[in-house]
């Protein structure tokens, strides 16, 4: 999967992919180790709602938009919040249209 190769190239980790819908428009990326967490110690109590790693969601969403795929990308679990793994949920909002280009 191209997504796994991109994560390995840029972050040095390979996520596992879990399909969560029968329609094939939703899946999760599960990171056992999140390298961005290494740069954050502990979030202060007044900043507990801050999603530090939300940067990854923006990068994934932007990359999908570059290939004309609209998607909603959200954090489902975050190691900084005490979860065992980092899980990013991706939901495609519409199917890619097959277009034939005239030359």
> Which tokens is 13 given?
């980790």
Are 19 and 27 in contact by the 8 Å Cβ rule? The answer is yes
What are the tens digits of pLDDT across the range 15-66? 998 887 777 789 999 998 888 877 777 777 887 777 878 888 998 999 889 9
Place of tokens 């004309």: 68
- Report the DSSP beta bridge partners of residue 74: 89
Are 53 and 29 in contact by the 8 Å Cβ rule? The answer is no
Q: Residue 1 — very low, low, confident or very high, per pLDDT cuts 50/70/90?
A: low
pLDDT of residue 37: 79
What are the tens digits of pLDDT across the range 72-97? 999 899 887 888 889 999 999 976 55
Q: Where are the alpha helices (DSSP H) in the chain?
A: 2-11, 54-66
For residue 76, what is the enclosing H or E element?
strand 71-77
Whether 9 shows a pLDDT value over 70: the answer reads yes
pTM: 0.78
The 3-class secondary structure across 47-69, one letter per residue, is HCCCCCCHHHHHHHHHHHHHCCC
Domains identified in the chain and CATH numbers: 1-36+46-92 (3.30.1380.20)
């Amino acid at each position: 999967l191209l997504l796994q190769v991109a994560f390995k190239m840029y972050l040095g980790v390979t996520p596992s992919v879990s399909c969560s819908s029968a329609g094939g428009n939703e899946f999760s990326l599960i990171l056992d180790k999140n390298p961005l967490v290494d740069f954050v110690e502990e979030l202060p109590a007044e900043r507990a709602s801050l999603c530090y790693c939300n940067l990854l969601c923006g990068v994934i969403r932007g990359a999908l938009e570059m290939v004309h795929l609209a998607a909603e990308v959200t954090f489902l679990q975050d190691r900084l919040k005490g979860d065992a793994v980092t899980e990013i949920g991706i939901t495609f909002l519409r199917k890619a249209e097959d277009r034939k280009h005239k030359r």
